């Protein structure tokens, strides 16, 4: 999943001039505070994005990374259910709408989206970014928590939201998404605690009758020993000038680590296996760490004697299904 396509031209253009008129130090201060909230604990009754400066900094700094992570999760869902396409989509806690842009790209803009968020400045900027060539979406203010009721929809996305909620509100939100949608995609940071929130959401979705379509090749318990490791993936993100200003570094990109689950109420063919670590290339062979359909973890060694499979292994990436079709 490291290789990525460019951002949609319309989104790139909308983000390019977003910080015009905002002093660089103000943008950097807003990003620093947002990073602290992202890594810390945020009470469920306090939206992270408070004003226009916060929202502009968030959109310029985080929106490309969120878009890439959701795009990768949706690509895995599409691989599992290539004949399915959502007609309606609800983006819960969607802020400025990164996931909505990803959904529009994944299915050619066919889905009618509704973005729900409790921060009006984020919704306002989302509308502004989408005006013209952006996704066709409605933007509605809603408190994201136990009292939230969703209308029936084909697809619900919940990206980088669960960390902002109390455990009770997390459970209520996932339960409501499972009730309302035919497909649910949840994305969290690729950290140990983000993985734990994805695990909990996955268990809830399966208990509610949904089938895991990705990334897991099975619907059983995760084979990773708790506390020993965690399941996550990586998406490559082009660094903006704000990224370079805040984080420094000379590389034109960074890798966004994320964890996700996609679960559905319709037929889907999960991958027979999933590459869960970056492939290791040796002389004449490639080592692949896999999660398999029988619910176990294993390492496969693919060598030149495997012929075309060896070439496929050399081209394979972290997060890809295995073996290839």
Q: How high is the mean pLDDT in each 10-residue block of the chain (325 residues)?
A: 68 75 69 64 56 76 90 97 98 95 94 94 90 90 95 98 94 98 98 97 98 96 92 87 61 87 97 96 96 93 95 96 90
Please report whether residue 1 resides in a domain. Answer: no
Residue 323 forms part of a structural domain: no
Same domain membership, residue 196 and residue 251 = yes
Task: Give the chain's domain count.
Answer: 2
CATH number at residue 112: 3.40.50.150
Q: Which residues pair with 288 in a beta bridge?
A: 300
Closest by CA position to 135, among listed 161, 102, 159, 157: 102
Residue 73 to residue 38: CA distance in whole angstroms: 20
Q: What is the pLDDT of residue 242?
A: 59
pLDDT for position 3: 53
Residue count of the chain, please give it. Answer: 325
Same-domain pairing of 239 and 295: no
Please report the pLDDT score of residue 25 as a whole number: 72
Residues 58 and 253: their CA atoms lie apart, in Å, by: 17
Distance CA 109, CA 101 (A): 9
Task: Establish if 225 belongs to a structural domain.
Answer: yes
Question: Residue 193 has which token pair?
Answer: 């605690």
- Structural domain that includes position 292: 273-315
Is 287 domain-assigned?
Answer: yes
Question: pTM for this one?
Answer: 0.90
Does any domain span residue 3? Answer: no
Q: Residue 146 corresponds to which tokens in the numbers above?
A: 């136990």
SS3 255: strand
């Amino acid at each position: 999943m490291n290789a990525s396509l460019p951002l949609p031209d319309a989104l790139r253009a909308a983000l390019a001039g977003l910080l015009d008129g905002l002093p660089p130090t103000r943008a950097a201060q807003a990003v620093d505070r947002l990073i602290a909230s992202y890594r810390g604990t945020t009470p469920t009754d306090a939206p992270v994005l408070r004003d226009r400066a916060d929202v502009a900094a968030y959109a310029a700094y985080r929106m490309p990374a969120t878009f890439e992570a959701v795009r990768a999760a949706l690509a895995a869902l599409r691989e599992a259910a290539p004949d399915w396409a959502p007609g309606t989509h609800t983006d819960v806690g969607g802020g400025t709408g990164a996931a909505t842009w990803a959904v529009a790209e994944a299915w050619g803009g066919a889905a009618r989206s509704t973005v729900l968020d409790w921060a009006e400045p984020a919704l306002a900027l989302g509308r502004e970014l989408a005006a013209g060539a952006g996704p066709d979406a409605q933007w509605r203010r809603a408190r994201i928590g136990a009292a939230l009721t969703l209308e029936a929809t084909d697809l619900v996305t919940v990206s980088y939201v669960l960390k902002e909620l109390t455990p009770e509100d997390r459970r209520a939100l996932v339960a409501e998404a499972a009730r309302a949608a035919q497909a649910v995609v949840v994305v969290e940071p690729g950290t140990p605690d983000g993985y734990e929130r994805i695990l909990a959401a996955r268990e809830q979705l399966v208990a509610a009758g949904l089938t895991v379509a990705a990334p897991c090749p099975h619907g059983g318990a995760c084979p990773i020993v708790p506390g020993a490791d965690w399941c996550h993936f990586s998406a490559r993100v082009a660094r903006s000038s704000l990224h370079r200003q805040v984080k420094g570094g000379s590389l034109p990109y960074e890798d966004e680590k994320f964890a996700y689950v996609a679960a559905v109420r319709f037929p889907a063919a999960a991958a027979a296996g999933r590459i869960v670590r970056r492939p290791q290339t040796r002389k004449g062979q490639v080592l692949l760490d896999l999660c398999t359909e029988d619910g176990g973890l294993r390492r496969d060694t693919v060598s030149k004697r495997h012929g075309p499979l060896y070439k496929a292994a050399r081209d394979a990436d972290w997060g890809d299904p295995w073996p290839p079709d």
